[in-house]
A and B are shown apart, each in its own frame.
Chain A
Amino acid sequence: MRKYFPFFLTYKKALILAPLLVIIDVFCEIVQPELMSKIVDTGVGQKNLSYIYQTGGIMVLLSLVAIAANIGNIYYSSHASVGFAAELRKGMFSKIQEFSFSDLDRFSSASLTTRITNDINILQEVIMMSLRLLIRAPLMLLFAVVIAVRINAGLASIIAVAIPVLAITIYVILRRGLPFFEKMQKKLDQVNGVIQENLINVRVIKSFVREDFEERKFSFTNNELRKIAVKASGTVVLIMPVMQLVMNISIVAIVWFGGNKIISGTFQVGQLMSFITYITQILMSLMMLSMTIMAFSRAEASSERVLEILNTKPTIVDSITAKEKNVQVTRGKVEFKNVCFKYHAEGSEYILKNISFTIAPGKTVAIIGATGSAKSTLIQLIPRLYNVSSGNIWIDDMDINDYTLKNLRTGVNLILQQNELFSGTIKQNLKWGNATASDKDIITAAKYAQAHDFIMAFPEQYETVLGQSGVNLSGGQKQRLCIARAILRKPVVLILDDSTSAVDVATEAKIRASFNQYLQKTTTIITAQRISSIQSADQIILLDHGEIIGNGTHGELIKTNTVYHEIYASQQLQKGTVR
């Protein structure tokens, strides 16, 4: 709870005023039945017309005050709760911006999105509710009890019985019912899971003609869901009738005992009427309270998910030395010194083992290996997207930990395998590389990446809107835009992680050629599976299951390295007789 205080700070005033106004409202509301009983007993009983006017006038006046107080309360509590939610969202979003890749891997992006949207919404609703009901219900209960006791302490003992009876019954019903709701939620997830898989697999289902099979599978889970839903709701739905029962029995008791008291002359009809109203009020407040508490317990899960984000300490931050030095990457020399890496500190096996190599500035280096050889992992260490587990990575003869993240990542740009473009125009997207780039720069970069031609083919050209509301690009076109975006950044070290996988071979060759021609001074690191596409690299690093098993030029490796030779042969064999 304390963790949330800072997010409330801006809305202190609203947070204090909202409950105060509730108190006023409750007061105005709760004295009404008593005033009414006085109209009946004193006004009607003594035939005092002016008393009736006066008391009735007060009642109307109090109602008007209550309206004002209520509007005020809602005004302040919506300010406080919505404001709190906004601050919390901002806090969470900033926190996520600080996250490192390993933090991001830990939470899936879908889960992060849900937390920042749904979970915060639920918290907002709970705050809104608390600022009204959580104060109103117990206060109402308390006031009503006090007044009831004051009217007639003897009769009030009925309340003393009714409250615990109702409270215990509600508790028992919820205890029994809520676990069913959890089960129901799980079943519902299962049903949705089946639907989701069905949608994704539609081609498989249709091609194997499994529609009937799927229908049976669905019908089974669907029926299970129905059974558990009936159980869950069927239990909780008892609360209302039970409450009705307790309330009605109390009324019967009041009529009996109260009636007798009136007959013996110690009680009045008006009082009987107001007493019935108070007991209704009390039991209603109790219900309200239990509902609020239920809402709270439901929000607890959301709160935990939100706090989990807020409490995460980002694993990769600028060191103090880095900030003091504030050095830029200039030449592009990259060195790995005995680097070991695993994704989870507690994991048993290293994904990268004792990696050491040096890349001279301006060279083109290929990292080659089969799927699972940890190529992508290795290159992601260079811009410090993950921290090494042991060993060091040096760039321009300085440990990467001594660069600020900003300087390091400005100098070293990585084109990710799973790359993303954002909604906006093509130009806006390319400008991510360099916000101040001129149109000429943008066009040049697009030309290098073989993207210019297809961009110009769109009616809106560079102003073409991408994303949800705009054009859909093919995988290859997306990749080429990502390459252009990276080129615009003019990095000293440029890393491509299988960045042309969806680009056809002919275009890929053209991209390679323009890299050779225009990015001579840039240190370029490329991952690949095919030797043919990286044969001409200055240096080839062969990776196998996280270890370097070869490092040299194509000419050297083909002679000395058996694995390399084997891969080459396997690819050559397929190549056949040409050449």
Chain B
Amino acid sequence: MKEQDTNKNKLSISGLPGRHGGISAEKPKNSGQAILRLWKYLSKQKILILVILVLLLINIATTLTGSYLLRPIINKYIIPHNVPGLIDMVFLLFGIYVIGVIAGIFQNRLMIIVAQKTVNMIRADLFNKLQSLPLKFFDTHNHGDLMSRFTNDVDNISDLLNTSVLQLFTSGITLAGIFMLMIYISPLLTLVTLIIVPVMLWVAALIIKKSKAFFTTQQSALGNLNGYVEEMITGQKVVKVFCYEGNTETAFEKLNYDLRNKATQAQLYSGVMMPVIQNLNTINFALTAILGGLLAVLRGFDLGGLAAFLQYSRQFGRPVNEISSQYNNLQAGLAGAERIFEIMDEIPEIADAPDAIVLNTIKGNVQFKNVSFGYDTSKTVLKDISLDVKAGQKIAFVGSTGAGKTTIMNLLPRFYDILSGEITIDGINIQKIKRSSLRRLLAIVLQDTHLFTASVMENIRYGRLAATDEEVIAACTLAGANTFIQQLPKGYHTILKKDGGNLSQGQRQLLNIARATVSKPVILIMDEATSSIDTRTEQTIQKGMDQLMQDRTSFVIAHRLSTVRNADEIIVLENGLITERGNHDALLAKKGKYYDLYNAQFD
């Protein structure tokens, strides 16, 4: 059963329509391709795999030989009453079995080492791949879906390698081995098995087909129910406020019973497979016993041979069952591998131009020259934006939601590349600068205040890994965060849990500002960075903020217009176009959109 993903993704900064990918049915599109790529990982441990294969063959051989030895033991020693010979045979049997078990132990343990190493590599490659992907990828992919590739899909691969592969090989080789030995002992008696096996396979195929169909319908019923439950439980408070409990229960009940009916069928078909195959094998055993008995009586078939043969015919059911049950895991694992490789094949951030330069010191002059941009080429979100910002200036962007303020700020660090126009820093086109070098010059403070599970100190130091404790504390003091950090149980060494859940939104914003401060950027971008800080606190940290922005080129986006008043230039954006620009007083005097927005605040 697919694990329901409970990690809700609530991040959609750019406002792009998210891709809500449901997990498709468990079936690889191209098994060969997936196997080939998995093999690339496995082949890095070729020698170990070869060893495992040898051990596996030894293990199977000992099991089969052990059963076969019954024949000479009965024929040559027990029936002719040869006790010393029997002793030898018993020791031989014992020796063979011990070798088998030793091989088995090593084979299993080695396989786990190989499997875990492979899973480890796949996980690391997937993670590292993610680091190289452009922001667009994260804005257009559902986080829950990405997470499920790391959890469910990697799990499936892990299961596949840990047990399924080995089981499939063992079962397949065992079946072949048993079959050959059966023919060797008595081709005539093998006829029974030859008749029953197709029946078994036919029944298995029939059941698998049916059960697959029912599982698909069960899965969709389960999806409906889970979706409903998740939605209603997330919105439970709204349900209460509107006294909607009764309605929700009725709707739930319908989905619930629908799932019950479909799940019962799915369970029935999937459950019936193993025992029925087993029973069919018992019939095989019975028929073999009859025919074997007849052959012994009429044609003098040796008793030892019959004993060994019956032993094999009893063992026949297990590998058949094993193969049919591992088949599902195989499919799930390969489908998971495919989904993982799909991410690995994503196109990474376009490489830096070969002549891209590294900037170490810059002044901070920023220019936008007729910049146009759209998330997809057919729809431009920003049209003909031109800015000329001198080093150390403060530029503010205002405008209603969706006007394109955040989008502009995505362009400067090259999270997205522009469609036309040019952006320069100190006169150098940013496309000519190494991305890492460009981003090191900038610091961005966002409205969404995400922190890492680590101490406060480490979280701030994320801005500049080499920052000393003193520098971190200084940055926090500047951002007005020092006071509350001191009050935390362990001060700067308090571990922030789950995205800083033990802090208020406002406090987290202060930490974000401190993190940006410590990175000593030349250019500072603040996107609604103080939206959750109340006006009184904002006033108290104003001095620090001013100090932070001093001598830095800063870009500020704010909902609260009081924050942007002292900007050198205020840009009013409307539908991706600059409609007004100028300083606060000039814009007010103009009595345009800015004037309206500003006054609406003080109605």
Q: Which residues of B contact A263 (CB under 8 A)?
A: 78, 81, 83, 86
Known contacts A109-B236, A110-B8; is-contact A86 B116 (Cβ 8 Å): no
Specify which of B236, B271, B306 is in contact with A40 (CB 8 Å cutoff): B306
B53 CB-CB contact with A under 8 Å:
no
In contact, B242 and A208 (Cβ under 8 angstroms) = no
Specify which of A44, A114, A512, A578 is in contact with B297 (CB 8 Å cutoff): A44
Q: How far is A251 from B241 in the complex, measured between Cα atoms in Å?
A: 70
What is the number of residues of chain A that contact chain B, defined by CB distance less than 8 Å? 162
Min Cβ gap A246→B in Å is 9
In contact, A36 and B289 (Cβ under 8 angstroms) = yes
In contact, B86 and A259 (Cβ under 8 angstroms) = yes
Known contacts A132-B271, A277-B314, A468-B227, then 15 further A-B pairs from the complex at CB < 8 Å, ordered by chain A residue:
A52-B297, A110-B8, A113-B6, A195-B150, A204-B450, A208-B519, A209-B439, A211-B132, A214-B131, A218-B128, A229-B116, A230-B112, A259-B73, A416-B238, A530-B535
Stretch from B9-17, B360-368, B373-381, B382-390 at the A interface: B9-17
Q: Which residues of A contact B239 (CB under 8 A)?
A: 97
Min Cβ gap B118→A in Å is 10
Q: Which residues of B contact A256 (CB under 8 A)?
A: 86-87, 90
A138 CB-CB contact with B under 8 Å:
no
Known contacts A40-B306, A203-B135, A385-B240; is-contact A567 B231 (Cβ 8 Å): no
B328 CB-CB contact with A under 8 Å:
no
Stretch from A65-73, A158-166, A334-342, A546-554 at the B interface: A65-73
Closest residue to A433 on the B side, CB-wise?
A: B242
B504 CB-CB contact with A under 8 Å:
yes
Question: Taking each of B17, B128, B267, B401, which has the highest tally of chain A beta carbons within 10 Å of its own beta carbon?
Answer: B267
Stretch from A354-362, A418-426, A439-447, A517-525 at the B interface: A418-426
A93 CB-CB contact with B under 8 Å:
yes
In contact, A506 and B162 (Cβ under 8 angstroms) = no
Question: Taking each of A202, A433, A533, which has the highest tally of chain B beta carbons within 10 Å of its own beta carbon?
Answer: A202
Stretch from B175-183, B331-339, B441-449, B547-555 at the A interface: B441-449
Closest residue to A257 on the B side, CB-wise?
A: B90
Known contacts A74-B272, A192-B150; is-contact A110 B7 (Cβ 8 Å): yes
Q: How far is A406 from B533 in the complex, measured between Cα atoms in Å?
A: 37
Stretch from A75-83, A149-157, A325-333, A455-463 at the B interface: A75-83
Q: How far is A578 from B588 in the complex, measured between Cα atoms in Å?
A: 8
Known contacts A204-B450, A273-B311; is-contact A112 B97 (Cβ 8 Å): no
Q: Which residues of A contact B436 (CB under 8 A)?
A: 209
In contact, A202 and B135 (Cβ under 8 angstroms) = yes
Known contacts A93-B229, A240-B108; is-contact A215 B128 (Cβ 8 Å): yes
Q: Which residues of A contact B238 (CB under 8 A)?
A: 416, 419-420, 432
Q: How many A-B residue pairs have CB under 8 A?
A: 425
Known contacts A198-B130, A206-B439, A385-B241; is-contact A422 B135 (Cβ 8 Å): no
Question: Taking each of B20, B90, B244, B310, which has the highest tally of chain A beta carbons within 10 Å of its own beta carbon?
Answer: B310
Min Cβ gap A88→B in Å is 10
Q: Which residues of B contact A206 (CB under 8 A)?
A: 135, 413, 415, 439
Q: Which residues of A contact B109 (CB under 8 A)?
A: 234, 237
Min Cβ gap A181→B in Å is 13
Closest residue to B533 on the A side, CB-wise?
A: A371
The secondary structure that dominates the A interface is helix
Q: Which residues of A, 217-275, contact B by the 8 Å Cβ criterion?
A: 218-219, 222-223, 225-226, 229-230, 233-234, 237-238, 240-242, 244-245, 248-249, 251-252, 255-256, 259-260, 262-263, 269, 272-273
In contact, A248 and B97 (Cβ under 8 angstroms) = yes
B391 CB-CB contact with A under 8 Å:
no
In contact, B401 and A532 (Cβ under 8 angstroms) = no
B105 CB-CB contact with A under 8 Å:
yes
In contact, B453 and A197 (Cβ under 8 angstroms) = yes
A571 CB-CB contact with B under 8 Å:
yes
Q: Which residues of B contact A272 (CB under 8 A)?
A: 74, 78, 307
Produce 1/0 per residue, B520-561, CB < 8 A to A.
Answer: 000000000000111111010000000000000000000100
Specify which of A39, A233, A579 is in contact with B289 (CB 8 Å cutoff): A39
Q: Which residues of B contact A249 (CB under 8 A)?
A: 94, 97
CB<8 Å pairs between A and B, sample of 5 = A86-B259, A113-B230, A201-B452, A255-B86, A413-B242
Min Cβ gap A527→B in Å is 12
A475 CB-CB contact with B under 8 Å:
yes
In contact, A53 and B276 (Cβ under 8 angstroms) = no
B296 CB-CB contact with A under 8 Å:
yes
Specify which of B6, B123, B143, B559 is in contact with A200 (CB 8 Å cutoff): B143
Produce 1/0 per residue, A21-62, CB < 8 A to B.
Answer: 000010001001001100110011001010011001101100
Closest residue to A253 on the B side, CB-wise?
A: B90
Closest residue to A36 on the B side, CB-wise?
A: B289
Q: How far is A60 from B7 in the complex, measured between Cα atoms in Å?
A: 54
Min Cβ gap A41→B in Å is 10
In contact, B601 and A251 (Cβ under 8 angstroms) = no
In contact, A90 and B252 (Cβ under 8 angstroms) = yes
B264 CB-CB contact with A under 8 Å:
yes
Closest residue to B106 on the A side, CB-wise?
A: A241
Closest residue to A94 on the B side, CB-wise?
A: B249
In contact, A56 and B235 (Cβ under 8 angstroms) = no
B370 CB-CB contact with A under 8 Å:
no
A191 CB-CB contact with B under 8 Å:
yes
Stretch from A116-124, A300-308, A345-353, A387-395 at the B interface: A116-124
Q: Which residues of B contact A230 (CB under 8 A)?
A: 112-113, 116
A574 CB-CB contact with B under 8 Å:
yes
In contact, B135 and A59 (Cβ under 8 angstroms) = no
Q: Which residues of B contact A413 (CB under 8 A)?
A: 241-242
Q: How far is A414 from B8 in the complex, measured between Cα atoms in Å?
A: 25
**Nearest 8 pairs of A and B residues by beta carbon:** A574-B562, A56-B290, A59-B286, A420-B235, A78-B267, A248-B97, A86-B260, A241-B104
Q: Which residues of B contact A474 (CB under 8 A)?
A: 15, 401-402
A5 CB-CB contact with B under 8 Å:
no
Produce 1/0 per residue, B250-271, CB < 8 A to A.
Answer: 0011001101100110011001
In contact, B293 and A576 (Cβ under 8 angstroms) = no
Closest residue to A407 on the B side, CB-wise?
A: B243
A472 CB-CB contact with B under 8 Å:
yes
A205 CB-CB contact with B under 8 Å:
yes
Closest residue to B410 on the A side, CB-wise?
A: A203
Stretch from B41-49, B425-433, B592-600 at the A interface: B592-600
Q: Which residues of A contact B77 (CB under 8 A)?
A: 259
In contact, A114 and B276 (Cβ under 8 angstroms) = no
A372 CB-CB contact with B under 8 Å:
yes
Q: Which residues of B contact A436 (CB under 8 A)?
A: none
Q: How far is A336 from B506 in the complex, measured between Cα atoms in Å?
A: 29
B54 CB-CB contact with A under 8 Å:
no
Min Cβ gap B3→A in Å is 6
Q: Which residues of B, 87-137, contact A by the 8 Å Cβ criterion?
A: 87, 89-90, 93-94, 97-98, 100-101, 104-105, 108-109, 112-113, 116-117, 119-120, 123-124, 127-128, 130-132, 135
Known contacts A36-B310, A113-B6, A259-B77; is-contact A251 B66 (Cβ 8 Å): yes
Min Cβ gap B374→A in Å is 18
In contact, A52 and B506 (Cβ under 8 angstroms) = no
Q: How far is A205 from B415 in the complex, measured between Cα atoms in Å?
A: 12
Known contacts A52-B290, A93-B229; is-contact A196 B147 (Cβ 8 Å): yes
Produce 1/0 per residue, B267-309, CB < 8 A to A.
Answer: 1100110011001101101110110111011000001001100
B138 CB-CB contact with A under 8 Å:
yes
Min Cβ gap A434→B in Å is 10
Known contacts A211-B131, A249-B97, A422-B235; is-contact A75 B13 (Cβ 8 Å): no
Min Cβ gap B496→A in Å is 11
Specify which of B229, B235, B443, B559 is in contact with A117 (CB 8 Å cutoff): B229
Specify which of B97, B252, B279, B562 is in contact with A93 (CB 8 Å cutoff): B252
In contact, A71 and B276 (Cβ under 8 angstroms) = yes
B146 CB-CB contact with A under 8 Å:
yes
Q: Which residues of A contact B236 (CB under 8 A)?
A: 96, 99, 104, 109
B468 CB-CB contact with A under 8 Å:
no
